[in-house]
């Protein structure tokens, strides 16, 4: 796992955009995330596209997760959010996500797994992290081998996400999410974490034991992970100085 500590959210967004752009080519399969953390990444990618420096033509994308029961047209469905924050501003027109309105949720989960597999798998998966250590919507206790399925949100996650809704009571209890096993199948995992509220989860994910109690710790089992954190999110890392030294002295030939 490569841990890169940068000054602030803007620097984190720029660096993660570099990593994502490194994988963008016709035929690329991108894994996209929602929530606040990836927004600086999307702003940066949109700016590069607007400047004529980056095209997503011929690439396609898959989302990590979706609320169950929230109409696709709801402004906070991840179907809507990813279009508003990213897709509508670039030339990426093939985007799939779990359908949280499906009549048969287990069948939809199975369909999604097959769709990712039939696309040849995800080349690069963008991730955020929840304050309870979740990735996608894999809450504590998620099997480290899990596949796309329904999950029940913790109260902590519903409270965290209440800011997107009129009230916490409007935050759905159930979600469809790629499993931790699904996420581990991606070629390159890129996690962005910013702000002091993420410090505890980042430390547990990077330096704690691999445990279903901190689902993001499963990243320790993946051979190709880039984890970009800003200073406030890095305060719990015991080996912060080592990560800084490694990043500052990275051999020029070493890729992202
Ligand atoms: C959300 C999403 C995750 C996200 C996490 C953190 O609810 N399902 O993909 O990484 O929780 O969200 P944020 O980036 O808004 O802090």
For residue 136, the ligand 1 atom closest to its alpha carbon is 9
* Tens-digit pLDDT profile for residues 176-214: 999 999 999 999 999 999 999 999 999 999 999 999 999
Q: Is 12 a residue whose pLDDT tops 80?
A: yes
Q: Given CA atoms 246, 249, 254, 256 in this order, what sign does their dihedral have? A: positive
* Tens-digit pLDDT profile for residues 77-110: 999 999 999 999 999 989 999 999 999 999 999 9
* Tens-digit pLDDT profile for residues 166-176: 999 999 999 99
How remote is the CA of residue 128 from the centroid of ligand 1, in Å?
Answer: 6
The mean of the pLDDT values for the chain is: 97
* Contact (Cβ atoms closer than 8 angstroms) between residue 231 and residue 159: no
Domains and CATH numbers, the chain: 2-248 (3.40.50.1360)
The pair of three-digit structure tokens given for residue 60, joined into one six-digit string: 């396609």
* Tens-digit pLDDT profile for residues 52-83: 999 999 999 999 999 999 999 999 999 999 99
Under the banding of pLDDT at 50, 70 and 90, the label for residue 256 is confident
How remote is the CA of residue 35 from the centroid of ligand 1, in Å?
Answer: 4
Mean pLDDT of 13-40: 97
* Contact (Cβ atoms closer than 8 angstroms) between residue 3 and residue 236: no
DSSP string, 169-190: GGS-SEEEE--HHHHHTSSEEE
DSSP string, 96-127: E---TT-SSHHHHHHHHHHHHHHTT--SEEEE
For residue 195, the ligand 1 atom closest to its alpha carbon is 16
The pair of three-digit structure tokens given for residue 29, joined into one six-digit string: 């399969």
Q: Which residues are catalytic?
A: 65, 132, 134, 139
Mean pLDDT of 33-57: 98
Contacts made by residues 23-27, CB under 8 angstroms, sequence distance 24+: 23/123, 23/124, 23/188, 24/54, 24/55, 24/56, 24/59, 25/58, 25/59, 26/57, 26/58, 26/59, 27/58, 27/59
* Tens-digit pLDDT profile for residues 121-162: 999 999 999 999 999 999 999 999 999 999 999 999 999 999
CA distance 166 to 197: 22
Q: Output the pLDDT for position 252.
A: 85
Q: Output the pLDDT for position 255.
A: 74
């Amino acid at each position: 796992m490569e841990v890169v500590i940068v000054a602030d959210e803007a620097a984190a967004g720029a660096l993660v955009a570099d990593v994502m752009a490194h994988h963008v080519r016709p035929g690329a399969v991108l894994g996209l995330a929602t929530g606040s953390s990836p927004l600086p990444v999307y702003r940066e990618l949109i700016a590069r596209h607007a400047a004529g420096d980056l095209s997503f033509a011929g690439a396609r994308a898959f989302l990590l997760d979706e609320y169950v029961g929230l109409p696709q047209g709801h402004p906070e469905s991840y179907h809507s959010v990813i279009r508003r924050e990213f897709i509508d501003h670039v030339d990426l027109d093939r985007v799939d996500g779990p359908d949280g309105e499906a009549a048969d949720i287990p069948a939809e989960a199975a369909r999604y797994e097959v769709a990712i597999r039939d696309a040849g798998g995800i080349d690069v998966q963008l991730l955020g992290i929840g304050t309870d250590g979740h990735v996608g919507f894999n809450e504590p206790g998620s099997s480290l081998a899990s596949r796309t399925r329904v999950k029940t949100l913790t109260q902590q996650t519903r409270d965290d996400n209440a800011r997107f809704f009129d009230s916490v009571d409007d935050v759905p209890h159930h979600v469809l999410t790629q499993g931790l096993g699904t996420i581990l199948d991606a070629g390159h995992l890129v996690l962005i974490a910013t702000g002091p509220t993420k410090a505890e989860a980042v430390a547990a994910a990077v330096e704690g034991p691999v445990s279903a109690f901190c689902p993001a710790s499963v990243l320790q089992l993946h051979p190709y992970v880039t984890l970009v954190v800003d200073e406030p999110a890095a305060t719990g890392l015991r080996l912060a100085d080592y990560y800084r030294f490694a990043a500052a002295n990275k051999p020029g030939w070493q890729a992202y």
